[in-house]
Chain A
Amino acid sequence: MSVGLLYALAGAALVAIGLAGLLLLPQLLRKILAFNILGSGAFLILVGLGQRDGGIDPVPQAMVLTGIVVAIAATALALALARQLLDLSGRMRLPEDGPDAGAADD
């Protein structure tokens, strides 16, 4: 098994962990962390699978750098919103209602 493939498989495992966390954890901060784990997994797959013929391919590395910047921006926005929600409602979690519940209330 090549090193690249090993990285990619580790990335896939991270993606699975992140996805589970994002969907299952109720706490907002954990959801945001889970999103970051998911993103790191995707980056690892991108770099791992992107190695061609044993050499290092710079293109996926450049993509991952861009992706990290995007992920930081998204995390910052998520944290700012979570903080605002904490100030407004005193809780760090999304209200537990079904997809179409709460449609009629405010």
Chain B
Amino acid sequence: MTDFLDPLPWLIMLPLAWGTLAFVLGPGRGGRLAIAAIALQGLLVLQLAGQLLAGGARVHAVGGWGAPLGIDLLADGLAAVMLLLAQAVALPLAIYARGYFAAQPKGRELFWPMTGYLLAALNALFLSADLFNIYVTLELLGLAAVGLVAIAGGQAPVTAALRYLLATLLGSGAWLLGVALIYGSYGSVSLAILAPLVGADAPLAATLAAALMLAGLLLKTALFPFHFWLPPAHGGAPAPVSALLSALVIKATFYLVLRLWLELFAPLTTVAAAQLLGILGAAAILWGSALALAQTRLKMLVAYSTVAQVGYLFLLFPLATLVPPDAAESAVQGGVMQAVAHGLAKAAMFAAAGSMIVATGRDDIGRLGGVGAHLPLTLFSFGLAGVTLMGLPPSGGFSAKWLLLRAALETGQWWWVAVMIAGGLLTAAYVFKVLRRAFLPVASGDRVTRVPRTLEFSAFALALAAILLGLFGAPLLALLAVGGAA
């Protein structure tokens, strides 16, 4: 294989190129180009996954320079799973967005360029092999995401975008401080070079750096109690944007927490720190679900549901830290499975919610009557996504929670089981709150209009993928098992 056709750099170059081209084409244009390009990116990730399964982790030296002078791109199993998730969510959402912005033009001017840059930053982040490169991709991702929150204009979205921007800048500032301390201690930022050095000797500065970087990432992942910026930002943006942010952007920082915890800072991890992350996760599950139940606006409900579902991701840390390798493997698989399942299901849920809002003309759970009769496929998609979030079999969410439960029982930490069950029940409560309203007849004076079929089918495709993940999750776990750089 020649260097030119290597999928790794193209996964970053392609979205940059089509994003820029969409900007040059003019306001609101470039949707068809984006869909074709994201499909191509999906094929590239599949090719990459094939390469990984056949030959192990891969490194690409950008421009032939290589570390330490140049930039290395690294693809291992975890990175490939996240890349796969990103393209698998982005493709149906791009098709959805074309229909959505045709019906609801507010914010369509800059959607395609910003989405291109967002995907480029995401793919670059997943493939980064050094701490400073991760800093740059984190900032690119944050700026693109903030821009997307603000595209609809209006006071509430701009306020949400500013709050999000300040939070995300503070998060990357903490990360940069950590990078400075690490470079001062070890004289390198490459993950591959640093890992053995941290294992051999970790001065106080390294521990401080780890704490700073972790805190910055938690702020950006919106883990309780750092979730304050998320609901207004995700709930106020246009539906395709909310879906991209909830499904993918917070997963990127979770991916970094996971990678640092398991690899670079593994020698520094303690049971107490892991339990703390688990407790924050549990609090997020209960607090987020309870607030979701209290919402009157549909998109705010789905946004608070994201706060809750982020909590499940962090349950993996107490289950994977300083425990027998079997249980740790099960916990990590469960956590990653949860990230993928939630990504697909939450994208489906925001997409379906967007269709319902277009159809009823308002964002109000109390006025959803008639949706069940007029948009059965959309409501079915919402319900299917809810099944995944609740963790009912045979969905991907069930597989995730099953793997986490197994790890919890194997390590004797039964209290996390109680949290997961309570979270599942609360999830069921807020999903049924929406379904119950939607099955009522149309209230007098309200109208439910039809929505384009692409809106209904793209949401359904995402929800179906989240269910199928539970039935055919084994290849994904095989890909995840492809180890780090040789």
Q: Do A and B come from one complex?
A: yes
Which of B1-9, B173-181, B350-358, B442-450 forms part of the interface with chain A?
B173-181
Please report whether the interface of chain A is mostly helix, strand, loop or mixed according to DSSP: helix
**Is A3 in contact with chain B by the CB < 8 A criterion?**
no
Tell me which residues across on chain B come within 8 A of A74, comparing CB atoms: 139, 142-143, 165, 169
A-B contact count (CB 8 A): 117
Tell me which residues across on chain A come within 8 A of B147, comparing CB atoms: 77
In contact, B296 and A104 (Cβ under 8 angstroms): yes
- Report A92 CB to chain B, min CB distance, Å: 11
Chain B interface: which size bin? 35 or more
* B159-194 with Cβ < 8 A to chain A: 159, 161-163, 165-166, 169-170, 173, 176-177, 179-181, 183-185, 187, 189
**Is B457 in contact with chain A by the CB < 8 A criterion?**
no
In contact, B162 and A94 (Cβ under 8 angstroms): yes
- Report B216 CB to chain A, min CB distance, Å: 11
In contact, B300 and A22 (Cβ under 8 angstroms): no
Tell me which residues across on chain B come within 8 A of A11, comparing CB atoms: 180
- Report the bound CA distance from A92 to B331 in whole Å: 46
**Cβ 8 A contact of B228, one of A42, A67, A77, A100:** A100
Tell me which residues across on chain A come within 8 A of B132, comparing CB atoms: 63, 66
**Number of residues on chain A facing chain B (CB within 8 A):** 43
Please report whether the interface of chain B is mostly helix, strand, loop or mixed according to DSSP: helix
- Report A56 CB to chain B, min CB distance, Å: 13
* A12-63 with Cβ < 8 A to chain B: 15, 18-19, 22, 28, 31, 35, 38-39, 42, 45-46, 48-50, 52, 57, 59-60, 63
Residues of A within 8 A of B (CB): 8, 11, 15, 18-19, 22, 28, 31, 35, 38-39, 42, 45-46, 48-50, 52, 57, 59-60, 63, 66-67, 70, 73-74, 77-78, 81-82, 84-85, 88-89, 94-95, 99-100, 102-104, 106
Q: Which 10 A-B pairs have the closest CB atoms?
A: A49-B184, A99-B228, A46-B180, A45-B180, A88-B155, A42-B176, A70-B139, A81-B162, A85-B158, A42-B177
What are some 17 contacts across the A-B interface (CB < 8 A)?
Answer: A8-B184, A19-B170, A35-B173, A38-B170, A45-B177, A50-B187, A52-B187, A60-B183, A67-B176, A73-B139, A77-B147, A77-B165, A81-B150, A81-B158, A81-B161, A95-B159, A99-B225
Starting from the known contacts A49-B181, A70-B139, A94-B162, 16 additional A-B residue pairs (CB-CB under 8 Å) come to A22-B166, A22-B170, A35-B166, A35-B173, A39-B173, A49-B180, A78-B169, A85-B162, A88-B154, A95-B159, A99-B228, A103-B291, A103-B304, A104-B296, A104-B300, A106-B156
